[in-house]
Amino acid sequence: MREVEVPVLIVGGSLVGLSTALLLGHHGVRSLAVERHRGTAIHPRAAQINQRTMEIFRTVGIEQIVRQKSGEQFVQDGAIMAVETLAGKELAWFISNLNEGIRDVSPTERVFISQSLLEPLLKARSLELGAELRFGVEMVSFEERAGGVTAVVRDRASGSEQTIHAGFLVAADGAHSRIRERLGIRVRGRGAFSNSVTIYFRGDVTPLLRGRNLSVIYVNNPLLRGFFRFEKPFNTGFLAINMLGDPDKPITDVSTGLTEERALELIRLALGSNDIPITIENIMPWTATAEAAEHFQRGRIFLAGDAAHVMPPNGGFGGNTGVADAHNLAWKLAMVIKGKARPDLLSTYEPERLPVAEFTVEQAYSRYVTRTAPYLGTKGIQPVEDDLNVELGYAYNSAAVIPDGDVAPRLHENPRESRGRPGTRAPHVWLDFKGERISSLDLYGSKFVLMAGPDGVDWPESARRAAERTGADLDIHRVGAAGLNDPGRSFADAHGIAASGAVIVRPDGFVGWRAADAAQASAETVARILSALTCR
């Protein structure tokens, strides 16, 4: 078969592989993704999609369709709570409404949509943006060579093999990543703590919900511990079970030898009712694990998603963290491939994403211990941070961020308090652009963007000259000029600058640099900053 050349080869065409293909396509980079399975996910695993992921989807034009499909599949704004059984006693409410108290920080919302519905949307948009996706095709070997990676892929149906020459390889090949293994990259963390199962079933649970709007229902009783999720109209769902028996000395191997009869019994135990006819549809074993790879990059090969970090599902962080990896990596690959940044920019992927992944893994673990597995003990675990800080408040510290003075950003904080600090996600502010209400975030996503406060009159011209000099792709806006208005007069304050200051936002919507006022509004300074942010 003919050999193929492609800028980026992605191994794994599930949530993170597809997101990588989509985001590379958004940046105008051709990629080829190979996925061993014949199609996208058939089982819902990830479903809780956080605001950051929705913001990313908004940038690539699929926010609305994701919201629409999610509304068809799940009740939105549900609670995350714990019960003894679905029919029985309520034990705790962790979040009473998925979006309560967080709508001010983002133009979008948390939604529930299962991978089985989401992945086809990612696939369709990736194809529109020029990605090549091959299902039923697996990568069987790879070799890094000077200037690229050579891989052999095999069509599983025909057995025919093909050699792919790629500039870069993204390993989105899941928790048991062979690529990570082959590269000899070790993982560190808390290891595996349960052979869990997800039991997919049919059965009308409406009477047991008693009108409650519930997104995730933890079940904690002396016989089992896990969680339910139900889809509209509440006649399908799953029960994930992490342990059985005495909560102080639980049986953590739930999956070995689990029969359909026993699975049915467990569903009934968790429902607290024998009255509802239940059909078991499938039983999927998985390992509850909390660990991250020691490295996310080896030369031209990058780990993303579960290949780079695995965490228990408590908190709904795993898939979202993988999408954020893809988002961080895509613009860097694009700039390097297009010659707009030095390859050193790619070396900022690991220092930016690895600490965030480790923090998120620990946060998921803390939720697992406190919500499901107290027998593991709370000594030495991180305190549970507000979900919002985990989802939107993580910060980067790398060569692609220029801190204020010598103050490095904290690893995470409340996104309402970061206020444009370099290394944090640029805050959302409602603006008016040529008569249309937009979020400030809608201005980001493809290029660097210099945003000047309303009195920062010198910035646009300086920035224009700097972009010309450096060849950087830079959009330039001054609030209050050229049809961009700030009806709430909050832009400068939200970004921690005076009205004459400015921020430079990276293509991933993170603040790369900020100037408190106009003192540095020269072309020389902006050129120097743009060069630094692209590692030139």
Ligand X SMILES: Cc1cc2nc3c(=O)[nH]c(=O)nc-3n(C[C@H](O)[C@H](O)[C@H](O)COP(=O)(O)OP(=O)(O)OC[C@H]3O[C@@H](n4cnc5c(N)ncnc54)[C@H](O)[C@@H]3O)c2cc1C
Q: What is the CA radius of gyration of the chain?
A: 24
Which parts of 38-99 fold into alpha helices (H)? 51-59, 63-73
Residue partners of 112: CB distance under 8 A and separation at least 6: 47, 48, 49, 70, 73, 74, 75, 76, 78, 98, 215, 229
Measured from the CB atom, the residue of 118 and 497 that comes closer to ligand X is 118
Helical (H) or strand (E) element with 141: strand 137-145
Assess contact for 30 and 333: CB atoms under 8 A: no
Single out the residue of 6, 9, 12, 486 in contact with ligand X (rule: CB under 6 A): 12
Stretch binding ligand X (CB under 6 A), from 41-49, 81-89, 264-272, 433-441: 41-49
Q: Please tell me the distance from the alpha carbon of residue 217 to that of residue 195, in angstroms, as a whole number.
A: 20
**Which of 34, 301, 443, 515 touches ligand X by CB under 6 A?**
34
Give the burial string for 349-377 (b: 16+ CB within 10 Å, else e): bbbbbbbbbbbbbbbbbbbbbbbbbeebe
Q: From CA 402, how far away is CA 111, in angstroms rounded?
A: 33
* 174 interacts with ligand X by CB under 6 A: yes
Whether cis (ω within 30° of 0) applies to the bond prior to 207 is no
Residue 15 touches ligand X, criterion: CB under 6 A: yes
Considering the rule CB under 6 A, would residue 396 count as an interface residue with ligand X? no
DSSP category for residue 47: -
Q: How many residues bind ligand X (CB under 6 A)?
A: 33
Q: Between residues 178 and 464, which has the closer beta carbon with respect to ligand X?
A: 178
Cβ-closest position to ligand X: 305
Out of 14, 220, 252, 534, the residue judged to bind ligand X by CB under 6 A: 14
CA–CA gap between residue 480 and residue 473 (Å, rounded): 22
- Residue 240 is a binding residue for ligand X (CB under 6 A): yes
Spatial CA neighbour of 401 closest among 340, 463, 348, 477: 348
State which of residues 32, 46, 56, 431 lies at the interface with ligand X (CB under 6 A).
46
Spatial contact of 427 and 116, defined as CB atoms under 8 Å apart: no
The pair of structure tokens assigned to 202 is 């049919």
For ligand X, the closer CB: 17 or 507: 17
* CA–CA separation, 138 and 150 (whole Å): 14
| Residue among 26, 45, 300, 514 that touches ligand X (CB under 6 A) | 45
Which tokens belong to 108?
Answer: 């979008």
The least CB distance from residue 45 to ligand X, in Å, is 4
Helices assigned H by DSSP within 113-259: 115-128, 178-182, 206-209
The verdict on 237 binding ligand X (CB under 6 A) reads: no
Give the shortest CB-15-to-ligand X separation in angstroms.
4
Q: Does 11 bind ligand X (CB under 6 A)?
A: yes
Report which residue type is found at 69: K
Q: Which of 218, 365, 368, 396 is catalytic?
A: 218
Residues 282-301 vs ligand X: string with x where CB under 6 A?
A: ----x---------------
Q: Which is nearer to ligand X, 314 or 520 (CB)?
A: 314
Per CB under 6 A, does 228 bind ligand X?
A: no
Token duo for residue 260:
């359909």
Is position 172 an interface residue for ligand X (rule: CB under 6 A)?
Answer: yes
Phi-psi label, residue 446: left if phi above 0, alpha if psi -120 to 50, beta otherwise: alpha
Q: Is 218 in the site for ligand X (CB under 6 A)?
A: no
Q: Does 48 bind ligand X (CB under 6 A)?
A: yes
Is 368 among the residues known to form the active site? no
Select from 55, 109, 119, 138 the one that contacts ligand X (CB under 6 A). 138
> Least distance (Å) from ligand X to the CB of residue 434?
36
Among 76, 320, 363, 424, binds ligand X (CB under 6 A): 320
Smallest distance from ligand X to CB 7, Å? 18
Q: How far is the CB of 285 from ligand X (least distance, A)?
A: 10
Please, is 346 exposed, middle or buried when counting C-beta atoms within 10 Å of its C-beta (0-12, 13-18, 19+)? buried
Stretch that binds ligand X, among 1-9, 34-42, 368-376, 415-423 (CB under 6 A): 34-42
Q: Give the helix/strand (H/E) hosting 5.
A: strand 4-11
Q: How far is the CB of 245 from ligand X (least distance, A)?
A: 20
Least spacing, CB of residue 36 vs ligand X, in Å: 4
Where does this chain bind ligand X (CB under 6 A)? 11-12, 14-17, 34-37, 45-48, 138-139, 172-175, 178, 198, 240, 286, 305-306, 313, 316-320, 322
Residues with a catalytic annotation lie at 218
